[in-house]
Amino acid sequence: MPEPHHPPRLAVALDAPGVPPRHDAAHYTALARLAEHGTLDFVTLGDRFGGPGPDALAVLARIAPDTERIGLVPTVTTTHTEPFHVSTAVATLDWVSRGRAGWTVEVSTTEAEAALVGRPQVLGFARTGKDPHPAASPAEVWSEAGEVADVVGRLWDSWEDDAEIRDRATGRFVDRAKLHHVDFTGRAFSVRGPSIVPRPPQGRPVTVVDVTGETDGPDGGPSPGTGDLPHVGVPPRGGSRERGRSRELGEGARREVAAARADVALVRAEDPQTAGAARADLLARARAHGRAPGGPLVLASLPVELESSGDAAGLAALLGDWFAQGVADGFHLRLADPVRDLARFVEGTVPLLRERGLLRRSYEGTTLREHLGLPRPASIYALAREAAR
């Protein structure tokens, strides 16, 4: 059961499938400010290694100074990127937003994405004959993504919080006993550490895993077919063949990474039973990883299209209903038309949620972890040093 005392966590996606990506900062700033006005926990911005559109982490860094409280969670792909860079970029997003950063771990499985990478030889993309970049299996790249999430967390911890001492008497700027090599060796990469970035404000920015993932079109582009998203509350239509295939291949591996590493898991669901079953499965897997009683917060990720203010009121009722059933710790809304739907949501849904005690009226905390009710974790190296004393 979700803790009864914490209202549902609420997040919203700023991007939408089928809506061409915008390149101007003002568009994203306006949306994020609106979400902040609605006192949501965080916004997400999706991304792929090849785009399209600007880099998601760059966009959320750009709007960080224009917002004050809203959490900022870009998708960051790990398959073709250096784990060290992933770690420092997300840590820096946490610094520039003063503790509001998270990241959604994502992978690149398509041949089209692999073909954009200049390395002649990378994990799973052996150079063979005519086809230099065959796609790797989702299970393989997700397994590696789990290693990336692991080392990223260790790099954040590699500076203890009080490593900087500025001790004039000894001339030392840092206490080097509080800086740690991480010496991480995965199957396909190793990282020595420590990080170049001091421990970020949240200690560890919030790690999010979408356990269902976006359906890949056959050529690696976003799946076609928008405009026919289910209205909220409408029973789901059967997934396309591609979606079925993608789930078979990737979902188990996604769930493993979420169970082991995520602070927040997103479960794409169109009915409460699906969400509840996925949540139970994730928490069981998390226990198997030794995270009991912890484990990720599970947010039901819902496709939402608010064509009228009536829909906005209906959405409030639906969210309240699902939450009362205990199938999710909160919700991530994937809006069909972010500009229109977010305005309707903040105007029509937010006041109703507040009336029912399901949404704060103003932010109490300043960091994303505080919004979500997640403690600030101690550095694993600080804990080890304490234990050794």
Residues 259-288 that bind another protein (CB under 8 A): none
What is the C-alpha separation between 81 and 142, in angstroms, rounded? 14
- Does residue number 366 form part of the binding site for another protein (CB under 8 A)? no
CA distance 282 to 89: 28
The interface region with another protein, picked from 6-14, 36-44, 174-182, 246-254 by CB under 8 A, is 174-182
CB of 386 to another protein, least distance (A): 20
* Residues 368, 43: Cα–Cα separation, whole Å: 11
Q: Which residue, 14, 90, 15, is CA-closest to 52? A: 15
- Reduced to 3 states (helix: H, G, I; strand: E, B; else coil), residue 260 is helix
Q: Name which of 92 and 274 has its Cβ closer to another protein.
A: 92
Write the CA distances from 306 to 29, 37, 48, 161, 239, integer angstroms: 21, 18, 26, 44, 22
- From the list 33, 124, 189, 243, which residue makes contact with another protein (rule: CB under 8 A)? 189
The residues in 132-151 that bind another protein, with binding defined as CB under 8 A, are 132-133
Residue 214 or 347 having the CB closest to another protein: 214
Residues 220-259 that bind another protein (CB under 8 A): none
- To another protein, the closest distance from the beta carbon of 76 in angstroms equals 11
Q: Is 321 in the site for another protein (CB under 8 A)?
A: no
Q: Prior bond to 303 cis, omega within 30?
A: no
Q: Which of 6, 185, 187, 196 binds another protein (CB under 8 A)?
A: 196
Q: Which is nearer to another protein, 3 or 24 (CB)?
A: 24
219 binds another protein (CB under 8 A): no
For position 174 contacting another protein by CB under 8 A, the verdict is: yes
Query: Cβ 121 to another protein, closest distance in Å?
Result: 10
Q: State both tokens at 192.
A: 């020595």
**Residue 298 C-beta: closest distance to another protein, Å:** 29
CA distances to 2, 53, 60, 231 from 337, in Å: 30, 17, 19, 12
Q: Which of 17, 95, 271, 320 binds another protein (CB under 8 A)?
A: 95
Interface with another protein, residue 30, by CB under 8 A: no
Cα distance between residue 170 and residue 147, in whole Å:
39
183: alpha, beta or left? (left if phi > 0; alpha if psi -120 to 50): left
19 sits near another protein (criterion: CB under 8 A):
no
Q: Please choose, out of 79-87, 134-142, 268-276, 341-349, the segment that lies near another protein by the rule CB under 8 A.
A: 79-87
Structure tokens at 147: 């290693």
Give yes or no for residue 72 binding another protein (CB under 8 A).
Answer: no
Helix extents (H) in 221-308: 241-261, 272-288
Q: Which of 40, 45, 73, 91 binds another protein (CB under 8 A)?
A: 91
> Residues touching another protein: how many (CB under 8 A)?
67
Choice from 164, 214, 271, 347 touching another protein (CB under 8 A): 164
- Name the residue type at position 46: G
- 19 vs 313, which CB is nearer to another protein? 19
Burial class (CB in 10 A: 0-12, 13-18, 19+), 235: exposed
Residue from the set 2, 17, 18, 115 that interacts with another protein by CB under 8 A: 115
Q: Is 333 helix (H, G, I), strand (E, B) or coil?
A: strand
Sequence-distant (6+) residues with CB within 8 A of 141 are 79, 107, 108, 109, 123, 124
In contact, 86 and 153? CB cutoff 8 Å: no
Q: Which of 6, 37, 68, 85 binds another protein (CB under 8 A)?
A: 85
Out of 17, 18, 30, 55, the only residue in the binding site for another protein (CB under 8 A) is: 55
Helices 83-96/56-63 angle, 10° precision: 20
Q: Which residues in this chain contact another protein in the complex, by CB under 8 A?
A: 23-25, 29, 49-55, 57-59, 61-66, 80-85, 88-89, 91-93, 95-98, 112, 115-120, 122, 132-133, 159, 164, 166, 168, 170-176, 179, 188-194, 196-198
